[in-house]
């Protein structure tokens, strides 16, 4: 019984090369787009507040898709409830509270949403 054991060479499956951009480049691009949209919202707010709100919503969606947090500077100028761009004196009321728990309160005049920032 001269049976030869034949070992078959494992054939490598040819995989299609897919292009996945590096995570850092996606994050940087998302931050740039968010920054641009928020600055557009700031410049357009006085003439068309609804357009500014749509710019903010698009910027937030880009951030969620790329899993990038909104920079603190812009986060404080956006209402969490109604996603509108906040401008002090027009649709934003700012109050200071002193005492053992001193804080700054931002109140959106469109939806009544409140934010507190401890001092």
Backbone angle region of 7, left / alpha / beta, with phi > 0 → left and psi within -120 to 50 → alpha: beta
Provide the pLDDT for residue 17: 67
Provide the pLDDT for residue 26: 86
* Domain of residue 60, CATH code: 1.20.5.420
Instruction: Please report whether residue 3 resides in a domain.
Output: no
Instruction: Please report whether residue 34 resides in a domain.
Output: yes
Instruction: Please report whether residue 9 resides in a domain.
Output: no
Instruction: Please report whether residue 74 resides in a domain.
Output: yes
Range of the domain at 88: 23-118
Q: What confidence tens digit (pLDDT) does each residue in 23-77 have?
A: 778 889 999 999 999 999 999 999 999 999 999 999 999 999 999 999 999 999 9
pTM of the shown model: 0.74
Supply angle C-alpha 96, 119, 70, rounded to 5.
100
Provide the pLDDT for residue 99: 85
* Strand blocks (E) in 3-108: 92-97, 103-108
Number of domains in the chain: 1
Q: What confidence tens digit (pLDDT) does each residue in 84-97 have?
A: 999 999 999 999 99
Instruction: Please report whether residue 59 resides in a domain.
Output: yes
């Amino acid at each position: 019984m001269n049976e030869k054991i034949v070992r078959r060479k494992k054939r490598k499956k040819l995989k299609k090369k897919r292009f996945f951009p590096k995570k850092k480049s996606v994050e940087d691009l998302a931050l740039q787009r968010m920054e641009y949209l928020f600055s557009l919202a700031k410049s357009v707010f006085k003439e068309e507040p609804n357009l500014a709100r749509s710019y903010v919503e698009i910027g937030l969606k880009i951030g969620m898709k790329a899993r990038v947090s909104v920079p603190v500077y812009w986060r404080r100028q956006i209402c969490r409830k109604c996603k509108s761009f906040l401008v002090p004196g027009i649709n934003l009321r700012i109050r200071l509270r002193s005492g053992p728990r001193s804080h700054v309160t931002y109140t959106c005049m469109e939806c009544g949403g409140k934010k507190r920032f401890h001092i």
